[in-house]
């Protein structure tokens, strides 16, 4: 396909890529669904610590559920039918993309960010769970609406193939997804309650690798790592924790802000004042996650040589765990 195909698609910037893609695709199809609403209904908020998975030579920390699950849950809970495909062969992946564009169907793609040429250098590292929309093609260049960017951009066929078939953890394998049919009206009330309950379950789960228990586990390890691993590796691990929080799209603090905005919208839809109060509380917790990130980054950038620095951030993380445990238990009761 070399002729020009340009779908009349409106680009809205968002705080996080997957929520933004879903919100933009829904808006294109005539449903005014905000980014926070997608995130909340899709139960995107999480904390997880996976020491057995290494990303950039450090344990995996994540502040969100695995890529693709927000859209999957959102679609299921609102009655939207969606199609997702992965490919072994890049030529097939490109042909399927071109086929959709020819039908005026913009699609979401999962890509690696290391070779995304329009990203600033400091954001380009091995992370394969970024999302974007392709909404057209001019000659051999694909038109890209990347929701974390201010404006639309483009990539050549070769450049797009490189990011669609990035190697490593969470390799996208040409992953492409798009909605195929919609209910006449989205039943938001039930979907919101389901989304909230799932997040409350995830964050208070009785297993050590997710939710507040995982936060406490990381806090205990922050105390142990300096002796066990030495300062250099400990600081590399802390760098990873903060990078996953602050730089991958939105991260820990930012996700709490989005969740606060979701609860505010949900309080109006469900006519539930309690959710409005809780929305302010999770926003304040988001502020304190930001403070935690600043203090941790001072340590690994060697601006805080105090020996009790590790102890201080471990205490901060434990305090955040206590507050989030209380918060999610009360939120569950509120719905």
Report pLDDT for 62.
87
Domain span at residue 130?
Answer: 5-32+81-181
Q: What is the pLDDT of residues 216-228, one digit of tens each?
A: 999 999 999 999 9
Q: What are phi and psi of 234, to 5 degrees?
A: -60, -45
Name the helix (H) or strand (E) containing 241: helix 231-246
From start to end of the chain, where are the E strands?
5-6, 45-55, 58-64, 81-85, 107-111, 130-138, 141-145, 153-156, 176-181
The CA–CA distances, whole Å, from 302 to 122, 153, 159, 231 equal: 19, 37, 37, 10
* Separation between Cα atoms, residue 322 and residue 307, nearest integer Å: 25
210 & 163 share domain: no
Question: In the predicted model, is pLDDT for residue 186 greater than 80?
Answer: yes
24 & 138 share domain: yes
In a domain, 46, yes or no: no
Q: What is the pLDDT of residues 38-74, one digit of tens each?
A: 999 999 999 999 999 888 889 989 888 887 889 999 9
**Mean pLDDT along residues 226-236:** 92
Single residue among 181, 214, 229 that ends a domain in this structure = 181
Report pLDDT for 51.
93
Q: Could you tell me the pTM of the whole model?
A: 0.90
In a domain, 58, yes or no: no
Q: Which residues fall within 8 angstroms of residue 228, CB to CB, at 6 or more apart?
A: none
| Half-sphere exposure in the Cβ direction for 130 (13 Å, CA) | 30
151 & 194 share domain: no
Q: List the one residue out of 235, 17, 249, 12 whose CA is nearest residue 123.
A: 249
Q: What is the pLDDT of residues 123-132, one digit of tens each?
A: 777 778 889 9
Q: List the one residue out of 156, 157, 132, 158 whose CA is nearest residue 145.
A: 132
198 & 234 share domain: yes
Q: What is the pLDDT of residues 150-163, one digit of tens each?
A: 999 999 999 999 99
In a domain, 176, yes or no: yes
248 & 116 share domain: no
Confidence band of 300 (pLDDT split at 50, 70, 90): confident
Contact 45, 29 (CB under 8 A): no
- Count the domains in the chain: 2
* Separation between Cα atoms, residue 15 and residue 30, nearest integer Å: 21
pLDDT above 90 as % of the chain: 73
Report pLDDT for 249.
45
């Amino acid at each position: 396909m070399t002729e020009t195909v340009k779908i009349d698609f409106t680009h809205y910037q968002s705080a996080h890529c997957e929520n933004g893609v879903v919100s933009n695709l829904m808006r294109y199809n005539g449903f005014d669904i905000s980014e926070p609403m997608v995130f909340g209904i899709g139960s995107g908020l999480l904390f997880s610590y996976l020491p057995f998975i290494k990303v950039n030579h450090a344990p995996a920390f994540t502040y969100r559920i695995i890529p693709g699950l927000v859209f999957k849950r959102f679609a299921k809970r609102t009655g939207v039918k969606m199609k997702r495909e992965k490919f072994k062969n890049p030529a097939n992946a490109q042909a399927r993309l071109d086929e959709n564009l020819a039908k005026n169907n913009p699609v979401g793609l999962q890509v690696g960010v290391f070779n995304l040429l329009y990203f600033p250098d400091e954001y380009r590292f091995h992370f394969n769970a970024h999302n974007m929309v392709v909404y057209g093609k001019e000659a051999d260049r694909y038109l890209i609406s990347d929701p974390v960017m201010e404006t639309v951009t483009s990539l050549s066929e070769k450049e797009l193939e490189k990011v669609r078939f990035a190697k490593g953890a969470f390799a996208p394998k040409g992953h492409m997804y798009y909605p195929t049919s919609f209910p006449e009206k989205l039943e938001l009330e039930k979907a919101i309650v389901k989304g909230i309950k799932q997040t409350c379950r995830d964050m208070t789960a009785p297993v050590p690798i997710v939710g507040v228990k995982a936060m406490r586990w990381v806090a205990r390890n922050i105390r142990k790592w300096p002796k066990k691993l030495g300062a250099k590796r400990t600081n590399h691990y802390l760098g990873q924790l903060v990078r996953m929080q602050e730089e991958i799209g939105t991260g820990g603090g930012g996700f709490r802000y989005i969740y606060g905005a979701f609860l505010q919208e949900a309080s109006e839809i469900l006519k539930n004042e309690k959710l409005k109060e809780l929305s302010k509380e999770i926003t304040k917790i988001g502020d304190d996650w930001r403070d935690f990130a600043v203090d941790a980054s001072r340590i690994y950038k060697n601006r805080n040589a105090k020996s009790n620095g590790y102890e201080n951030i471990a205490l901060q993380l434990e305090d955040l765990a206590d507050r989030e445990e209380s918060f999610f238990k009360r939120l569950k009761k509120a719905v």
